[in-house]
Amino acid sequence: MQIYLPIAEVSVNAFLLLGLGGIVGVLSGMFGVGGGFLMTPLLFFIGIPPAVAVATEANQIVASSFSGVLAHLKRQTVDLRMGGVLLVGGLVGAAVGVEVFTLLREMGQVDLLVKLCYVVFLGLIGGLMFIESLRAIRRSRAPGTTKVIRKQRTWIHALPFKMKFRTSGLYISVIPPLVVGVLVGILAAIMGVGGGFIMVPAMIYILGMPTKVVVGTSLFQIIFVTAFTTLLHATTNYTVDMILAVLLLIGGVIGAQIGARIGVKLKAEQLRILLAIMVLAVCGKLALDLLLTPAEIYSIGTGGHG
């Protein structure tokens, strides 16, 4: 069934969109990630204009994160205070990101920037995750070696403006969370992702937050940042496609529930290595697009100068 998207101004198969939403939903349910980093490139592949894909995906992430954060609030695994600090940074970052996005869109470089961001970050995160989970698997096969937990005092602890984060059990400066928030906010706006796949490692390794509150807190912050991003894209670029968002949502929420059940049956290391392979595959495809000689070296942009 073909459906005409009013903002993207293209006609696509509705079942394809439901299916994509479903598949990405399953994956995000399995791995506990937003799935934006997979969905946005997939939308590029099926011919949705990048600007629309990025803005609409932000809207969809609001839905999936909201669904997720409700569960975490119930389990009290959300550090609202830390979330608030990250949020302040995130909103600033999102505003900057949308500005950059609009500017580059006028210059005709938005595709390049979005794709470069994807290649760099997916490559980095995917590579790290792959190595890390390979090690974990090897460790579990060689019993006897105990895991060394080091709690070191780094430069992070030397910064001023310290604040107590009770849920996380931390007493650290507000500067690192603010900076993390800003960076993730910029990326969220440019890449059309929640940024969970960057924020989660940053919270664990840079801020030293306990793993159990990380996912909930990151989801909490993501809702507001992506909601803000959606509003900014809607008011400055007019690129949020409601019909596209609804189709992706339906597939996504159903898929996420199925994925969550599959996820329970798999081992954590297996899950992570699968996710790493998937991330690297998407990264590889995008990298090839940038590196190989394109079939068509010309492209058409809408009028205007620059």
Partner 1 sequence: MRRLFALLCLLLPTQVHAFAAEDVVADLSQNRVSINTSFDGSEILVFGAVKRSRPVPVGTPSLEVIITVSGPSEPVTVRKKDRRLGIWVNTESVDIDAAPSFYAVATSGALGDVLTETEDQRHKVSVARAIRSVGAPASISDAQSFTEALMRIRANDELYVTSEGSVELVQETLFNTEIRLPANLVEGAYETRIFLTRGGEVTAIYNDVIEVSKVGLERFIYNLAHEQPLIYGLLSLFIAISAGWLASAVFRFIR
State the residues that interact with partner 1 by CB under 8 A.
1-4, 6-7, 9-11, 59-60, 62-68, 70-71, 108-109, 111-112, 116, 227, 230-231, 233-235, 238, 240, 242-243, 245-246, 249-250, 253-254, 256-257, 290-291, 293-294, 296-306
Nearer to partner 1, 65 or 217 (CB): 65
Between residues 108 and 169, which has the closer beta carbon with respect to partner 1? Answer: 108
Contact 271, 31 (CB under 8 A): yes
Least spacing, CB of residue 279 vs partner 1, in Å: 20
CB 277, min distance to partner 1, A: 24
Residue whose tokens read 């894909």? 53
**Smallest distance, partner 1 to C-beta of residue 286, A:** 11
| Residue 116 Cβ vs partner 1, minimum distance, rounded to whole Å | 8
Q: Do 56 and 21 touch, CB atoms closer than 8 A?
A: no
Residue closer to partner 1 (CB basis): 6 or 169: 6
Q: Give 194's contacts (C-beta < 8 A, 6+ positions apart).
A: 34, 36, 61, 65, 188, 218, 219, 222, 225, 226
Q: What six digits make up the tokens of 287? A: 């990298």
Q: What gap in Å lies between CA 104 and CA 111, rounded to an integer? A: 9
d(CA 36, CA 223): 13
Report the residue number, 276 or 282, with the smaller CB distance to partner 1: 282
Cβ 1 to partner 1 shortest distance, Å: 7
Tell which residue, 249, 285, 248, has the closest CA to residue 118: 285
| Of 110 and 129, CB closest to partner 1 | 110
Phi and psi angles of residue 79, each rounded to the nearest 5 degrees, phi first? -90, 95
- Asked if 43 and 80 count as a contact pair (C-beta separation under 8 A), the reply is no
